[in-house]
Amino acid sequence: MLAAVCLVASVAGFAVAWSAWPTNAATSPLLTLSALLWSGSYLAAGVFLWRRSRLAGPALLVAVGLLLFPARFVVPSGVLFVPALLVIVLCAWLGHRYLRAARTAAR
């Protein structure tokens, strides 16, 4: 189910990148590039989770960690950076334990 959520997030990121595609010289491609990076990381995480790869944990950590980049612009003072980082580390640790247990149970 987590793989399906990652793949849906990837499709949503590709839709954002498509809608933010620069159409003239005055448009900045930063949103398009960040949406493509975000959707590519979620696509990789979803595929790794679906295939039960040992790279699923780090790929999921990178995909969720990329959410901190726009959060720094939403709250410029950095008040949410440390709590968000702690939540991401906790979720990544729990996800890594779950993925390791699922991989050993599948053998």
pLDDT tens-digit series, residues 22-58: 887 777 788 788 888 888 888 998 888 888 888 887 8
pLDDT of residue 71: 67
| CA nearest neighbour of 69 among 54, 80, 60, 59 | 80
Domain residue limits, the chain: 2-106
CA–CA separation, 13 and 41 (whole Å): 10
- pTM recorded for the entire structure: 0.67
CA dihedral 20, 26, 29, 35 (to 10 degrees): -30
SS3 content of the chain, % helix, strand, coil (to 5): 80, 0, 20
pLDDT of residue 79: 67
pLDDT of residue 50: 85
**pLDDT > 70: percent of the chain:** 87
| Contact (Cβ atoms closer than 8 angstroms) between residue 89 and residue 60 | no
CA–CA separation, 78 and 38 (whole Å): 21
Residue 4 banded pLDDT, cuts 50, 70, 90: confident
For residue 106, the one-letter residue type is: A
